[in-house]
Amino acid sequence: MKNNMSSKSGGAVLGAAFLMAMSAVGPGFLTQASIFTEQFKANFAFSILVSIVITLIVQLNISRIIGVSGLRGQDLANKIVPGLGYLIAILIVLGGFAFNIGNVGGAALGLNVLFGIDLTYSALLAGGVGALIFISKDAGKIIDKFTKILGVLMILVISYVALESKPPISEAAYSAVFPESYGDLSFSLLTLLGGTIGGYIIFSGGHKLLDANIKGKENLNNIDKSLLIGVSIASIIRIALFLAVLGVVSAGATLNPENPPASAFMQGAGVVGYKIFGVVILASSLGTIVGAAYTSISFLKTLFPVVFQHEKGFIIGFILLSTLVMASIGKPVSLLLLAGALNGLILPITLGITLLASRKKEIVGDYKHSVILTIFGIAIVVIMGYEGIISLGSIAAIL
């Protein structure tokens, strides 16, 4: 019986890790990373490195407090300031919806590249696949297996293109620490963080663990294990994609602004690379369709009883509505950049709330949160808040 429980717990820990990772590397990230790598070339390595470090610190802060308290992000916010959780939930759901329109569009593009299916029909098909996952009685187990397969597939195929494109690795490694200009990279960093840990994304793994009943101080090892695996998987994919695109643009190629990542894969590995792009964007999009819908609705289910009672129906509705919007208006690249930037503005707010919650005994009991994590967390709140304010002009330009 113990072994069976341990196996179930291990499966949930790994499932939450892959959900976290796949939520962080959707088509929004593919688009953002490709655009900024072409713009900054090797210097963008600095943004990639800093985003990985910040992701780890933020995840350690948020996932631990959520796990120990057993409270979701919106409930923590309501404990700090009554009513704040409703505002946070609305902002996160709107951001998740904007991302999910792009996610459906990404999956549609992947189906079009691989099988030549019309984009409108591809969008409807992709949304239908996402919705079907949640119709099943064993939706939780299907999500775990689904995201694991997609995550491994992405690592393999992106790594292949990275090798084929022959990026200047030594130059990238140097620029990761000493870029030509730190200031010029600030907006790219904000957008990248918004697209990889902003909004709903940073809560995806923690909320999934709560649904698997993995919570409390006694489960800290499992919580830490899940977030470390998730951050590692997402980081491998981020680095591999950056190197794949860097190899192409360093050789003097210009990416097609209509579809930067597709252009990079095509020029990096020819027709095979283009088909690989289809696999990558389909895998990343399906993973994030599931992650965005599941986590966004999890922000509503403890606030509104009707959502709690009909959670699967609301998740399916979330996916179908974003699918219909996608099929109607298409997939503008600017939408993904805008959603990432706006989610980056939400990040310091949600992290700040979590850090305040970590100091309240009525929320975390006798758990003592790491002083080092708290200090680094406060620094990130201040820096990201400042970066968000000075980047408002760039966000307005996207609008």
Over residues 128-160, the pLDDT tens digits come to 999 999 988 788 888 889 999 999 999 999 999
pLDDT per position as a tens digit, 63-99 = 999 999 999 999 999 999 999 999 999 988 988 888 8
What is the rounded average pLDDT for all residues in the chain? 88
Distance CA 375, CA 18 (A): 28
CA 55 – CA 50 distance, rounded (Å): 8
What pLDDT is recorded for position 283?
92
CA dihedral for 182, 63, 365, 362, sign (positive or negative):
positive
pLDDT digits (tens, 9 = 90+) for 275-334: 999 999 999 999 999 999 999 999 999 999 999 999 999 999 999 999 998 888 765 455
Q: How many other C-beta atoms lie within 10 A of the C-beta of residue 178?
A: 10
The 8-class DSSP code of residue 366 comes to T
Kindly state the average pLDDT of the residues 321-348.
70
Is pLDDT above 90 for 244? yes
Q: What's the rounded Cα separation, in Å, for the pair 258 and 256?
A: 5
179 vs 102, more confident = 179
- pLDDT tens digits for range 38-70: 999 999 999 999 999 999 999 999 999 999 999
The rounded percent of the chain whose pLDDT value lies above 70 is: 91
Q: Distance (Å, rounded) from C-alpha 162 to C-alpha 154?
A: 12
Cα of first residue to Cα of last residue in the chain, in angstroms, is 56
pLDDT of residue 240: 94
Contact 350, 194 (CB under 8 A): no
Q: Please tell me the total number of residues recorded for the chain in this structure.
A: 399
The 8-class DSSP code of residue 218 comes to: G
| Position 384 pLDDT exceeds 50 | yes
Distance of CA 341 to the CA centre of its chain: 13
Q: CA-CA distance, 323 to 131, in Å (whole number)?
A: 10
pLDDT tens column, 179-228: 998 888 887 887 787 777 878 888 999 999 999 999 999 999 999 999 99
The torsion defined by the Cα of 310, 314, 317 and 322, in degrees rounded to 10, comes to: -170
Percent of the chain with pLDDT over 90: 62
Of the pLDDT bands very low, low, confident and very high (cuts 50, 70, 90), residue 399 is low
Q: How confident is the model at residue 394 (pLDDT cuts 50, 70, 90)?
A: low
Q: Using alpha carbons, list the distances in angstroms from residue 220 to 26, 98, 126, 181, 225.
A: 28, 33, 36, 39, 8
